[in-house]
Structure 1
């Protein structure tokens, strides 16, 4: 049944949050949930819908197949092409990338150098990726990107040269996205949220229609099970916030009481590669040893919204980038490894939600012990009391501590740390630029003896201020 559901959903094509196509896929997901749930709810949320209406890239009289990266603005320009940042002022820059997560690093540099557009390529698969303006880990409003970015296949990349015409016609509208929730009552009133997302770029079967198709097979006789298919995981923030993903789950959790949500289990990007489970400390004992388990939250999925809301979370997925956000993200139902991963995912989740769930508080104590070694002494002294409460199995303290996780970005992929603002500031001592979730980006402008002394003073002051901020917050938990 999993593949039958998957292929039925896949017929709707690319699903961008707030689009007409989303309404069609919602009806199908509702039908799936009605078969296994006591109640089905649909929660509308306000989203920004982006749409590519037209795109023409023509170089030296030859049209080139391309895709427009969301949230590119509309333009109609004739321009020369440059392969050098230093020479791209008022020109189109072409950039060969190693993975899609490099896009915004190069996009930002292109803006700084005055390029009028950017053309990316990775391989021979059309892709999409959201471009951003500002601190990439900020959930706060940000001005929209103001130069377009497009993607061409690697086999066509050589054709982007000389003089080109770029016509990009995109549309932004306030719209409505929909979250579908199937609820099955059980012995205990405590809730388990098993989640996935239905919006997707291009084909989107691994990311993330396959996970949505598995949801109806995951219910519990012990706990009230909420099967949730989120909108606006890939895009949709009303304010162009650079933290562009998992917007739908953030809004959803802001609108409900979360005290009774015992656990979140999220599935995202299930593929043929080996599965990796990322979870918050305290949950390691719930997961069998036949998968790779990392005791760290996954920042790039809806599971992170639960962590930031103080809810222990498990994320299950593959970390293959082979067809990520690509036109060939279509699975083969006969693939033995994929079938094995589907069955393993189902077995892992069903075992967890049909067993008595207890947090292992010692896991968090041990993790906190390790974190505290790198924290300033005043904060450590306060955390000793927090640690003691968790050791005494104080669930409220344990859950509130999860809210102190945050992201740090200094490479292609973000790290997640408890008390991330301090760790980000420490990291800034040895990096040219570090972005810290909902705090800002720290950039070292020079590297000479005089400036380095000033910069060290600046970092020490930041750490002192952040330390005091955390102490005030810790006091309340």
Structure 2
């Protein structure tokens, strides 16, 4: 069956906004099950799991004679609030100094839409009664999830204050005519216990090695690009795979629910709950041990895509890509993907996506089937199909462990001896494993490296700095090395803090902000003794960071060494 991309997108988008646990999501999942069976000849199973189901029940903003339509921002539950309208122009604390308790805050959508949650918590702390956000582009409503806490600890993070989104033209009118006047915000929403539905297709079940391909189907508002496009790419991948045949491996295809929202605990890290739940289920039953590779398709909407992958996967994807697609390669799996939920458990993973160049349509009702690039959707699916077939045919041999070593060596520049020794030990043992073709051993060893060295980090302070998470290898070592270089140059800078979100581990390697300000003001007047003491302190910090990373590398080395000794 040759897929007609526009036709399939329109067919799927016709079910409306599909929030995890909703009737719309259930109906969409049933349609997807029919499509999967049409493509593969096999019906997928439904994996059910508990979710929080949120629903917008309407919102209106009133001021004088104005009555403007709005959309409730998840996970807020609405309310009726009135107060003086106060506009803010940035996402830092200084912009909220003129906000008084009871005010209604209005702001234009930040350049990074996900920074709306920063606006929300600032407004909450200032005592505002409600938040209104209006878009940067006309003619569209947008959903952005907000929470009531700064960090991303795995704790409940309810959002008690009403928050709504308005079209750009309505927001501009509201600001022009009503700033300083009394406005009324009426919003209604609900959260209930629901049931998520992930579709699981197993082809050639029972083989020793397994390939996973996945895409989430739940979506805010129209959702054609995010992520019905990924669903169509997955269907195209299945078409390619079925044409070649699944031989010598099991294919596990997943259409995931609850990527956008759904965790019943309502944490600030609200995304990718469905894949997190599913990956844990596989891990608990030890089924993850046989997974060679996990491929995720999320917003494959443009011909220039981002390839976010664990280092051993990059070469395979780039080698099999057609000339139609271009890639910006990232260092590790992106923190915002379902693929990251597998990568953090060690599974070699890759996500094909492009959010940054799709912001205009991201999470809006303007994200309609006419917007995504149909060629990109098909080519991404065909690439995923080719990668799955190659990894299934070759197993771990398809992965680039030499490339992973080169990445680790690139970090070693100026790193202490402890780290360089760890890289050398792992490199030599990996070389011997390649010579004896012990690819299963390499797979196990580098899974350990993925688990222990790959982290999401936030560079800066949640309250003062904007921007998203960044996935890095060995973040603590690299950040302290960068800070040490600045000290050697007798200068200060960089982020005021470095945090591993979720566990909220503050990497205490950067100079505290008060020290930086004091040093900046004094400049050349600082004594030589100060810089010498600082240099000495950072030498110890660098060595300590290098030692902790080296321990992880030596653990992987020991896996390969033990297998070599056993094979003698």
Give the corresponding residue for 2:294.
Answer: 264
- Of 324, 339, 359, the match for 2:374: 339
1:399 is aligned to: 447
Aligned counterparts of 2:9 and 2:221: Cα–Cα separation in 1: 15
1:409 aligns to what?
A: 458
Q: Which has the larger radius of gyration?
A: 2
Cα distance in 2 between the residues matched to 1:48 and 1:425: 40
Aligned residue for 1:263, secondary structure, equals strand
| Residue among 24, 27, 44 paired with 2:27 | 24
CA drift of 1:37 comes to: 5.0
Aligned to 1:87: 98
In 2: Cα distance, 1:237 partner to 1:435 partner: 22
Aligned partners of 1:71 and 1:131 also within 8 Å: yes
Name the residue aligned to 1:74.
78
The normalised TM-score by structure 1 is: 0.89
User: C-alpha distance in 1, partners of 2:265/2:535?
Assistant: 34
Change (3 A) 1:69 1:215: same
Residue among 207, 213, 220 paired with 2:232: 213
> Displacement of 1:360 after TM fit?
1.0
RMSD, aligned CA: 3.1
Counterparts in 2 of 1:78 and 1:48: CA distance versus 1, 3 Å: same
- Which shows bigger deviation, 382-391 or 266-275? 382-391
SS at match of 1:354: helix
Number of the residue aligned with 1:418: 473
Aligned ranges 1:162-311 → 2 under 5 Å: 162-185=181-204, 189-219=208-238, 220=241, 221=245, 222=247, 223-256=249-282, 257-272=287-302, 274-286=304-316, 287=318, 288=321, 290=323, 291-296=326-331, 297-311=333-347
Aligned residues: 473
Partner SS state of residue 218, structure 1: helix
| Residue 128 of structure 1 pairs with residue 131 of structure 2 | no
Give the alignment's TM-score, normalised by structure 2.
0.75
C-alpha separation in 2, matches of 1:119 and 1:458: 47
Match of 1:365 in 2: 405
CA contact (8 A) 1:424 1:436 kept: no
Structure 1 unaligned runs (5+)?
none
Deviates more, 1:236-245 or 1:419-428: 419-428
Q: What is the rounded CA distance, in whole Å, between the counterparts of 1:37 and 1:466 in structure 2?
A: 53
**Structure 2 residues not aligned, in runs of 5+:** 89-95, 435-441, 460-465, 484-492, 522-529, 557-568
Residues 322 and 383 in structure 2, CA contact (< 8 A), matched pair in contact too: no
SS for the counterpart of 2:467 is coil
Per the TM alignment, residue 239 of structure 1 is displaced from its structure 2 partner at its CA by 1.9
Shift of 1:376: 5.7
| 2:494 match | 430
Distance change (3 Å), C-alpha of 1:144 and 1:191: same
- State the alpha-carbon separation in 2 of the partners of residues 460 and 115 from structure 1: 46
Contact 2:61–2:185 (CA under 8 A) maintained in structure 1: yes
Instruction: Answer 1 or 2: which has greater helix percent.
Output: 2
The more displaced of 52-61 and 378-387 is 378-387
Q: Does structure 2 conserve the Cα–Cα contact (< 8 Å) formed by 1:408 and 1:435?
A: yes
- State the Cα distance separating 1:208 from its structure 2 match: 0.5
| Whole-Å separation in 1 of the counterparts to 2:147 and 2:541 | 26
Would the alpha carbon gap of residues 142 and 226 (structure 1) be closer, same or farther in structure 2, given more than 3 Å must change?
A: same
Q: CA deviation at 1:186?
A: 7.8
Structure 1 position 21, deviation (Å): 1.6
